[in-house]
Amino acid sequence: MKKLFALCILSVLLFSCVDMKQPKPEANVPEITTYYLIRHAEKDRSDPNNKNPDLNQEGIARAALWTKIFQSIKFDEIYSTEYKRTQQTVSAISLKSDVKLTPYSPDNLYSEDFKMRTQGKTVLVVGHSNTTPQFVNKIIGEEKYPNMDDTDNGSLYIVTVVGNKTKVQVLTID
């Protein structure tokens, strides 16, 4: 009986010395934010007066290609301008990712609010030949990337932000 009592006391002492709480995440480990930025796929140019055209057949095929390319990426947020061509480019990605498409204004790129809302997330942004590189420039804080050529619908900018450091990769998808 004395052995059983001693064993119980020893067990209580051992368990009281062990902190059963889960380890806390380190406060000094910065969050990783990843932005994928693309221009809309090829648009219908048959009516030069149409400021909001749909995608053409080549654009529909490219939108399908973007969907395939991004199939293994878990997006937290997806942003698009309110033009038909940008929304058509990203709609299948939004559906497959089960992430609601959020509109943004090309006049208000990478605001402080946007930065805070997307911090620590994986984000897809679909824009235009003049807004996509400018969006990248706003994220990195320098004027590094010029407007895209009007025939460039296959550039992919991947911007990774870790703390106050940024890294940009530019890929061309044919």
pLDDT at 131: 96
> For the chain, where are the alpha helices, taking DSSP H only?
2-17, 57-69, 84-97, 112-118, 132-140
How does pLDDT run across 107-119, given as a tens digit for each residue?
Answer: 888 999 999 999 9
- Please name every residue paired with 38 in a beta bridge, in sequence order, or none if there are none: 126, 156
Quote the percentage of the chain above a pLDDT of 90.
79
- Cβ atoms of 92 and 64 closer than 8 Å: yes
Of the pLDDT bands very low, low, confident and very high (cuts 50, 70, 90), residue 2 is very low
Q: How confident is the model at residue 28 (pLDDT cuts 50, 70, 90)?
A: confident
How sure is the predictor about 11, in pLDDT bands with cuts at 50, 70 and 90?
very low
Domains of the chain: 28-44+51-160 (3.40.50.1240)
Q: Is the dihedral of CA 62, 32, 78, 82 positive or negative?
A: negative
Cα–Cα nearest to 109, from 118, 101, 100, 120? 118
Residue 174 has pLDDT above 90, yes or no: no
> For residue 10, is pLDDT > 70?
no
pTM score: 0.83
pLDDT at 106: 86
For CA atoms 151, 154, 155, 161, the dihedral sign is positive
On the question of pLDDT at 134 being above 60, the answer is yes
Residue keyed to tokens 């902190």: 19
Q: Span 134-149, mean pLDDT?
A: 97
Higher pLDDT, 92 or 174: 92
Q: What pLDDT is attached to residue 145?
A: 98
